[in-house]
Amino acid sequence: MIYFVDNGKLLESEGSKFQYNQEEPYLCLFNQEELLQYSKIFRISNRIVNDILEEHSIKFESYDEFDIISLNIPKSAEKGTLPRHITIYFSNNLLMFVCNHPEELDILEKVEKDMENEENEKDDLSLGRILVLFFDYLTKTDYAKLEHMEETITSLEESIITSRNKNYIKEITNLRKKLMRYKRYYDRLLSVTEAIEENVNGLLSKKGVRYFRIITDRNKRLLESTRFLQDYLSQVREAYQTQVDINLNNIMKLSTVITTIFLPLTLIVGWYGMNFNMPEYQLIYGYPLVIIGSLIISVLIIIYFKKHKWF
């Protein structure tokens, strides 16, 4: 899909009759096949095309007359069906998005919503403005996402305190992996927006640079929030490990108490299990006396443990 900006509107050009005019700004949403098809028309060298098709992780490269931005978008419900990998080619008269499913980018919808805002005049629509709208969309709802994750960690912490028998290792590990992905994503995205904000090639207007500064500040806050959640989750994990250790100590303590209670009884059993003719065997009440003596010893041991609060 190829569009050009005309009087503050994005107009779709005729695909089969398309003729490249260097004086007009173009917005292109291409998949890999379309990139190969139109690269010669837009005078993009084979080296740059191959670099775009390699699908790097998040990166930013600035050349004399254009910039290349490569993004890996983490899967998130707030992003809907946004493509996993997107490469952006940005020059004075060309803004090109390359991904497997370019129709999922919804660039036109974002532009229309932005133009409905009374503060934005139609004359403000430019390729730089469209690039700002895209990067703004990437993290616009991420505060709510991180707040939801914080609530999840808080609920997990409360569950750990109230429930002693459930194993929470899997839940903690999954949250930890998710936060690690977000932290890596925001860290690299921040480096990209900072590089764009420098505007080395002068591709952005002063207003565009100002908008990117706002997006950069937002990415910094998102990165700091993610780090805070990582620290919070680490504290919850330590609390869970402490709770597990306490439970284990209680079990060992109970086992020790039970063993101690029955230790004198084991001694009595061993004593009267010897093959000797003991005088007690001749007593009429010898057997009941042994039973009563065993019970008295057990009760005295239990009272002693209770008095010293051993259980």
Residue 118: what pLDDT? 47
Give yes or no for residue 181 having a pLDDT over 80: yes
CB of 73 within 8 A of CB of 5? no
From edge to edge, which strands make up the β-sheet containing 9-12? Answer: 9-12, 2-6, 26-30, 94-98, 85-91, 66-72, 59-62
Phi and psi at 96, nearest 5°, equal -125, 125
pLDDT score, position 77: 40
Q: What is the pLDDT of residues 272-295, one digit of tens each?
A: 777 667 776 677 777 787 788 888
What structural domains and CATH numbers belong to the chain? 1-117 (3.30.460.20), 248-307 (1.20.58)
Q: Do the beta carbons of residue 3 and residue 26 sit within 8 Å?
A: yes
Q: How confident is residue 220, by pLDDT bands cut at 50, 70 and 90?
A: very high
31-83 pLDDT, tens digit each: 888 888 888 888 888 888 888 787 667 888 888 888 888 888 876 544 445 55
Task: Check whether 297 has a pLDDT greater than 80.
Answer: yes
Which helix (H) or strand (E) covers residue 123, if one does?
none
Residues in the chain: 311
| Whether the model pTM is above 0.75 | no
Contact 178, 149 (CB under 8 A): yes
The per-residue pLDDT for 267 is: 79
DSSP string for 150-173: HHHHHHHHHHHHH-SSS--HHHHH
Where on the phi/psi map is residue 199: left (φ > 0), alpha (ψ -120 to 50), or beta? Answer: left
How confident is residue 309, by pLDDT bands cut at 50, 70 and 90? confident
Q: What is the pLDDT of residues 99-138, one digit of tens each?
A: 887 766 776 677 766 665 645 555 567 888 888 888 888 8
- Of 81, 93, 59, 28, residue with least CA distance to 36: 28
Q: What pLDDT score does 116 carry?
A: 59
Query: If residue 4 lies in a helix (H) or strand (E), which one and from where to where?
Result: strand 2-6
Burial class (CB in 10 A: 0-12, 13-18, 19+), 14: exposed
Decide: helix, strand or coil at residue 276. coil
